[in-house]
Structures are given as C-alpha cells and as structure tokens.
Amino acid sequence: MRFSLGRAALPIYAVLAFVYLLIPIAYTFVFSFNDTFKSNIVWRGFSFKNWLGVCNEQGVCEAFGNSILIGVVSTIIATALGTAIAIALVRYDFKFRSSVSLLLFLPMATPEIVLGAGLASQFFNMGAEKGLVTVIIAHVMFCLSFVVVTVKARVSSLDPALEEAGSDLYATPSKVFWKITFPLLMPGILAAALLSFALSFDDFIITNFNAGPLSTFPKFVYTAASKGIPAAANVVGSAVFLVAILIVVAVQVSSTIKERRLKAGK
C-alpha cells in the first residue's frame, strides 16, 4: 500500500488537537495531588491532603456552592421558559414572530462584556442590590437563547402525525402534550439544560459585573490566580471534570443497552 499524506495527516492532526485540549486538564488533575506549601506552581511531591481537606482553603467551598446554586436555579428557569418559547416559535403563527426569533439570537452574538456591563447599568439604575438574585437574572438572560435554539431544533424534527394520532384517540390537548410531545422533546430539553448549566457554572465576565460581593467559583479562581491558584481549586475542577465524564459514560452506556434491547426485541 502506498503512503498517503492526506490519510496520515488527519489522525496526526486529531491526536495533536486532543493533546492540546487535554494538557490544561491534565495539569489541573496532576497538581490537585501536589504537596503544596504556599503556592501550587512547583511540584513538591504526591499527596492526598488536598482532596481530603478541600474545604480547608478559605472561601473555595462557599464559592463552589454558590456556583452550583446559581447554575441549578438559572438552568431550571431558562429551560422552562426556553422550551415554551421554542414550542411557540415553531408551532404557532403570531405577530412579530420573526422579530422575536431574531432578538433571541442577540445575546448569543453579543460579547459577554457588553451584556454584563449593560445589565450592571440596568441594575444600578433600578437601585437593585447586586448579589445572588441579580446573578441568576443575568444568567437566565444569556442562557435562554441557547435553550431556545437547542429545543427549537428538536421541536422542528417532531412528526405531527404522532400528536394527531393521540387526538384521534380522544386524548385531551394536555394529555397529548404530557404523554406524547413532552417525552419526545425530553432529549432536546435535557441537552439544553446541560448546556445551560455548563454556561452558567463557567461564566465569569457577566457574573463579575453583577455579583457584587457574592463569590462564585470562577471569581474565586480569578482572584486566587494573582498569588497562585490554590490546590483546592484544582481539586474542585478535577472533581467536576470527572463527574461530567461519568455522566457522559453513563448516558452512552444506557443508550447502548436500550439500542441492543430494541434490536433483540425485533
């Protein structure tokens, strides 16, 4: 077989891309086991003390808890509103429908610093005290667009004949929605919710403009970076990454098992 540069280039490029993406993650995971003294920059030896005493670092667990709370609340609100908006945009014809659809894309296209500064000015003019509530409102605002786009694609792919069959069998509109439409939309809704939570948990710029004295995990890492990121931040980051990997693996295994059962049933 003759050597082909094109066939060899793609695997090499893929390997280099994965290495480039995973180096920061690997660094974070390895240095979460570093036997730190004052900083976590130089490797001093292997130790489990950072994992066993992750909350010993002042502020890290409080900041992590705030990020989880903000992410969960904003995800629930954004997913509920975004799903309703997506269904309305696809299924119903109303005035200014195209304008609403266009405006929903603006937060996605707007730089975060512009959106964060604008929201901060709005809260200031309203006299609102910056804190947990203002951060949740800000996160719902920029997560909403991503939810609508994700769920809208799922709604557009549904076969209306399935819902029509439910109506022909004398099911009420609410029963058709909860028994047919909602289960079919569930994969898109879950994907939108996971994306919304990831965006909320990871956000720094918009949060920094609207959080006031409230500390979140990204803000804690940014503040700590000036004097060397503590090992506790590496531990939390590694734990979040491992949990995400476990969720992905569990979903893939569950999907594979269901697919095999369906094939066996046929």
Distance of CA 104 to the CA centre of its chain: 18
pLDDT confidence band for 44 (50 / 70 / 90) = confident
- Give the range among 101-105, 117-121, 200-204, 213-217 with minimum mean pLDDT: 101-105
pLDDT at residue 1 greater than cutoff 60: no
pLDDT at residue 205 greater than cutoff 60: yes
The per-residue pLDDT for range 153-204, each reduced to its tens digit, is: 888 888 888 888 888 787 888 888 888 888 888 888 988 999 999 999 989 9
pLDDT confidence band for 59 (50 / 70 / 90) = confident
Instruction: Write out the two tokens for 243.
Output: 């949990």
Domains and CATH numbers, the chain: 1-57+234-266 (no CATH), 58-229 (1.10.3720.10)
CA end-to-end span of the chain: 41
The per-residue pLDDT for range 5-41, each reduced to its tens digit, is: 667 788 888 889 988 988 888 888 888 888 877 677 7
Whole-model pTM?
Answer: 0.83
Per-residue pLDDT at 135: 94
CA distances from 181 to 84, 85, 99, 100, 126 (A): 12, 15, 26, 23, 40
pLDDT confidence band for 146 (50 / 70 / 90) = very high
Handedness of CA 254, 259, 263, 266 (dihedral sign): positive
Handedness of CA 198, 202, 207, 211 (dihedral sign): positive
The per-residue pLDDT for range 85-98, each reduced to its tens digit, is: 999 888 888 888 88
Q: Which distant-in-sequence residues (6+ apart) come within 8 Å of 91 by Cβ?
A: 155
- Report whether 73 contacts 66 (CB < 8 A): no
At residue 58's C-alpha, the angle toward residues 52 and 59, to 5°, is: 105
Per-residue pLDDT at 178: 87
Per-residue pLDDT at 41: 75
pLDDT confidence band for 107 (50 / 70 / 90) = confident
- Report whether 50 contacts 34 (CB < 8 A): yes
| Residues facing residue 46 across a β-bridge | 34
Instruction: Write out the two tokens for 61.
Output: 């667990």
Instruction: Write out the two tokens for 40.
Output: 């976590």
